[in-house]
């Protein structure tokens, strides 16, 4: 049975689906209250952002003379937002759709998804962390599913129940750096973690499959997935911050330790909720990283497209110091609707639209 049929049969389900509406209302109210402008971004682009590992949707723009141009659906609104920031927009946010193709089925993904991005300027990644803490409380208050906490130190608006477990949204959230997390949860020191040969050898010793094609990045991510992530976000959101530079293509290097970049991710209840950077503002370095990403796409046989030269031109005008983040709105909605699968909060999940059986 499809969702629209289930809703007809069980009208009490509407409540769970309209949590999305409340979450989006709360997001708008929060950022307007913080003095942000809301910006609309295009969904049809001559070239999408340079993501080395994501596959994109390609189409064609045709005019009445039969002229044709390649068109793409965005994998994120990031480049458009940064053009506006460089033009002097000030702090901005957008709630929009983005698209990723060629991905497997999961309870956390839909090929078409809702994304929230906000950019605080002047600001950096830790300013964005503060915004995120405030935003989650605001959404929780708006949903109004508050309960009296057992712990008197915590306010009702700071408690979130998800899948039978209580989480505290109280600020400040737990913060742990990637280097600390490798040390604490995996017993791997920073020098080993950053070294390709040493980390793969270390991974092999732990029983991970390693062959001549296995990259540092694969083992690094596999250790995070198996040994670190299960320890994060168990009682409330965890901010995992300062990623190795190679894992942060669009962020600023740390002045105090250039082996790391100012990036964080937020984890809670087994979900990755957001990915934040102190945004790279140097157009030369950005251009070099874009070109390297496009070369990596080509090497993997992904769809080819040109670099967004307008993006580089915009950065040349001078992008201000900015902290920016991308947050999966569908995951936020699932969290506040207490749904195990994001498909349970979408009126038209892709599996139903395309009649793909879900295993």
Closer by beta carbon to another protein, 89 or else 234: 234
Site for another protein in 265-324 (CB under 8 A): 272, 275
Shortest spacing between CB 172 and another protein, in angstroms: 25
User: How many H-runs (helices) and E-runs (strands) does the chain carry?
Assistant: 13, 12
CB atoms within 10 A of CB 7: 15
Shortest spacing between CB 302 and another protein, in angstroms: 12
Q: Which stretch binds another protein (CB under 8 A): 134-142, 191-199, 208-216, 305-313?
A: 208-216
Among 222, 234, 289, 338, binds another protein (CB under 8 A): 222
Among 213, 256, 258, 355, binds another protein (CB under 8 A): 213
The C-alpha atoms of residue 347 and residue 352 are separated, in whole angstroms, by 9
Note whether 163 binds another protein by CB under 8 A. Answer: no
The C-alpha atoms of residue 132 and residue 327 are separated, in whole angstroms, by 10
Q: Which stretch binds another protein (CB under 8 A): 29-37, 151-159, 206-214, 343-351?
A: 206-214
Task: Give rounded-to-5 percent helix, strand, coil for the chain.
Answer: 40, 20, 40
Note whether 4 binds another protein by CB under 8 A. Answer: no
Site for another protein in 44-63 (CB under 8 A): 52-54
Closer by beta carbon to another protein, 52 or else 351: 52
Q: Phi then psi for 322, rounded to 5 degrees?
A: -145, 140
Note whether 3 binds another protein by CB under 8 A. Answer: no
Shortest spacing between CB 127 and another protein, in angstroms: 22
Gyration radius of the chain over CA positions: 21
User: Which tokens go with 351?
Assistant: 């599996």
Decide if 47 contacts 69 (C-beta within 8 A): no
Region of residue 187 (left: phi > 0; alpha: psi -120 to 50; beta: else): left
Note whether 164 binds another protein by CB under 8 A. Answer: no
Site for another protein in 107-126 (CB under 8 A): 107-109
Closest of 110, 100, 116, 111 to residue 41, by C-alpha: 116
User: Which tokens go with 103?
Assistant: 């991905």
Among 68, 105, 147, 316, binds another protein (CB under 8 A): 105
Among 225, 304, 353, 356, binds another protein (CB under 8 A): 225
Shortest spacing between CB 359 and another protein, in angstroms: 5
**Cα separation of the two ends of the chain:** 15
Site for another protein in 245-264 (CB under 8 A): 247-249
Note whether 217 binds another protein by CB under 8 A. Answer: yes
Q: How many residues line the site for another protein (CB under 8 A)? A: 36
The C-alpha atoms of residue 158 and residue 170 are separated, in whole angstroms, by 5
Cα torsion 124, 238, 342, 347: sign: negative
Burial 347-358 (b: 16+ CB within 10 A, else e): eebbbbeeeeee
Site for another protein in 6-35 (CB under 8 A): 8-11
Summarize as ranges the residues that interact with another protein (CB under 8 A): 1, 5, 8-11, 52-54, 103-109, 207, 209, 213-215, 217-218, 220-222, 224-226, 230, 247-249, 272, 275, 359
């Amino acid at each position: 049975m499809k969702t629209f049929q289930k809703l007809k049969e069980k009208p009490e389900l509407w409540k769970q689906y309209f949590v999305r509406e409340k979450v989006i209302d709360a997001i708008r109210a929060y950022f307007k209250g913080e003095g942000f402008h809301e910006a609309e971004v295009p969904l049809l682009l001559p070239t999408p952002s340079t993501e080395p590992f994501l596959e994109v949707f390609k189409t064609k723009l045709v005019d009445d003379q039969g002229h044709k141009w390649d068109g793409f659906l965005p994998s994120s609104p990031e480049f458009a937002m940064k053009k506006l920031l460089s033009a002097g927009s000030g702090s901005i946010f957008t709630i929009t759709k983005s698209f990723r193709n060629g991905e497997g089925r999961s309870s956390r993904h839909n090929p078409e998804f809702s994304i929230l991005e906000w950019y605080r300027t002047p600001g950096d990644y830790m300013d964005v962390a503060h915004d995120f803490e405030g935003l989650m409380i605001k959404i929780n208050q708006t949903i109004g599913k508050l309960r009296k906490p057992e712990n008197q130190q915590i306010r009702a608006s700071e408690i979130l129940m998800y899948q039978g477990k209580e989480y505290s949204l109280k600020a400040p959230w737990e913060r742990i750096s990637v280097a600390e997390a490798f040390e604490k949860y995996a017993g791997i020191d920073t020098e080993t973690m950053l070294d390709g040969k040493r980390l793969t050898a270390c991974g092999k010793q732990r029983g991970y499959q390693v062959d001549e094609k296995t990259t540092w990045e694969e083992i690094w991510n596999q250790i995070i997935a198996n040994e670190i992530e299960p320890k994060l976000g168990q009682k409330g959101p965890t901010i995992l911050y300062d990623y190795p530079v190679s894992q942060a293509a669009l962020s600023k290097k740390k002045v105090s330790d250039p082996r790391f970049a100012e990036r964080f991710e937020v984890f809670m209840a087994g979900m990755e909720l957001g990915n934040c950077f102190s945004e790279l503002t140097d157009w030369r370095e950005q251009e070099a990283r874009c070109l390297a990403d496009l070369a990596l796409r080509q090497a993997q046989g992904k769809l080819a497209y040109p670099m967004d030269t307008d993006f580089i031109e915009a950065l040349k005008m001078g992008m201000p110091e900015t902290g920016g983040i991308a947050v999966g709105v569908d995951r936020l909605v699932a969290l506040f609707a207490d749904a195990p699968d994001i498909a349970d909060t979408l009126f038209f999940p892709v599996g139903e639209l395309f009649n793909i059986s879900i295993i």
